[in-house]
Amino acid sequence: MLFNRGLLISLELHTRFSPRWRLPAVAITGALVGWVGWFSPLLVGSGHHLAEEALRGEVLLVIIPLFFCVRFLLTVASYGIGAPGGIFAPLLVLGALLGLGIGQGVHQLAPDIVPQPAVFAVVGMAAYFTAIVRAPLTGIMLIVEMTGNYALMLCLLVSCFCAYVVAEALKDVPIYEALLQRDLRRSGTAHLLQAPVVIEFTIQNHAPFVGREVRSLGLPPGCIIVRCAEGKHEWVPKANTCLEAFMRITALIAPESSGGLEILRQGCQASGENEAHQDQA
């Protein structure tokens, strides 16, 4: 959740800079990355070599928190200024460090229970990916193919399931869905919806949609709510289905009904947030 929120906050901070301050902000961020890379090349770039060292268990426990925090901040700052590279490889490195740190910590307390701390680095990569992207099966298959170790399948299933449940309990939006919603809000929807889009919203407490039936939401034709979910219970809504706080709804939006996306976004947000967006506009 902190990783997802950090990326979004970094993007918002950069966009709020006036045009004359954006180049200095990029230069300062680049200088910071270069300064860190001068002292420790492992902490910059895609992190491939750092991930390999973590998977071999060669990173000391005392420096794992420092490495994790520096990589976290550099990833968030670099993505916020629009530096190319994406977040896939960096988040795997962060997951490996986090898993290795937990494995080494438990190994020192109970070496008989955790004889090989490096195994936790593999599990941490899959769990961290699942919590951020919310795709547990994809994370499991990716890590299994990357490591070639099928003996860890049960460990990966348990860790990814727990990561998924925790992220859902915290009401955190998957990162790619959050980035899509941000782009649609900032750039409009007409030129982005070239094909039907499936998107999920979480109805916040005190949102306009709370207590209303589906048929009374005012959605345009071509914008259909196809799924409702509450905890582990999922169902296909009807016209008289009443929406409740913290319920997750999945909508199918056709290109010609792009206006429904804004209706859904405003209806699912708490009233205070809607007023804040209107004040900013």
The yes-or-no verdict on residue 147 having pLDDT over 80 is no
* C-alpha to C-alpha distance for 199 and 219, rounded to whole angstroms: 15
**pTM higher than the cut 0.75:** no
Which residue matches tokens 């056709």? 254
pLDDT digits (tens, 9 = 90+) for 102-133: 999 999 998 888 888 888 999 999 999 999 99
CA distances in angstroms from 129 to 124, 233, 258, listed in the order given: 8, 24, 30
Span 2-169 CATH architecture:
Orthogonal Bundle (1.10)
Q: Would you say 250 and 210 are in contact if contact means Cβ atoms under 8 Å apart?
A: no
The yes-or-no verdict on residue 183 having pLDDT over 80 is no
pLDDT digits (tens, 9 = 90+) for 47-105: 888 888 888 888 888 999 999 999 999 999 888 887 777 788 889 999 999 999 999 99
Domain ranges of the chain: 2-169, 188-280
Q: In degrees rounded to 5, what are phi and psi of residue 257? A: -115, 35
CATH of domain 188-280: 3.30.70.1450
Which three-class secondary structure state does DSSP give residue 238?
A: coil
CA distances in angstroms from 275 to 164, 210, 279, listed in the order given: 32, 17, 6
Angle between helix axes 2-16 and 175-187 (nearest 10 degrees) is 20
Which residue matches tokens 């900013």? 280
Q: In degrees rounded to 5, what are phi and psi of residue 115? A: -75, -25
Q: What is the average pLDDT value for the chain, to the nearest integer?
A: 85
* C-alpha to C-alpha distance for 129 and 222, rounded to whole angstroms: 33
Residue 211 backbone zone (phi > 0: left; psi -120 to 50: alpha; other: beta) = left
* pLDDT at site 151: 84
Q: Which residues contact 3 (CB under 8 A, 6 or more apart)?
A: 72, 76, 91, 94, 132, 175
Q: At residue 72, what is the residue type?
A: F
* pLDDT at site 89: 87
Q: Which residues contact 171 (CB under 8 A, 6 or more apart)?
A: 202, 246
